[in-house]
Amino acid sequence: MAKDYSRSDRLASQIQRELAALITRELKDPRLMQPIILDVEVTRDLSLAKVYFSVLRPEDSDATREALNHAAGYLQRELGKVIKSRLTPRLKFIFDDTDIRGRRMDELIDSVIAKDRRKSD
């Protein structure tokens, strides 16, 4: 029976869980503004993990990305202690603003609907 998930998908899922815990528990950098780990993509050769994150306020994204990339070596070393893999992928943090853009679109749609209702009344 074939496995439903590839090795890189299983590793990505484990990295996402462990990173969320490590960032919350271990990192004390004042530039970190409560990042939310949205997704992790691991290359097939397990050499790189792209870690997609978001923050509550878009203006905090640059400082948070800098802090995460600054701590990437430490986080990679700590991940290596926990995950069951010969290789620990290099971490690359990428800000994902999809949810922020989605909220803006919702607000725009709601305002257009409200304008239409006012015009029809």
Q: Which two tokens stand for residue 50?
A: 């792209």
CA distances, 105 to each of 11, 23, 34, 46, 114 (Å): 34, 30, 24, 36, 14
Q: How many domains does the chain have?
A: 1
State residue 34's pLDDT score: 86
Q: Say what the pLDDT of residue 57 is.
A: 85
The pLDDT, as a whole number, for residue 4 is: 61
pLDDT of residue 1: 43
**Domain of 96: which CATH number?**
3.30.300.20
In which domain, by residue range, is 27 found?
7-120
Q: What is the mean pLDDT of each run of 10 residues along the chain (121 residues)?
A: 70 94 90 90 93 90 93 94 88 89 87 86 70
Look at residue 57 and tell me if it is in a domain: yes
Residue 86 falls within a domain, yes or no?
yes
DSSP letter at 59 equals G
Establish if 1 belongs to a structural domain: no
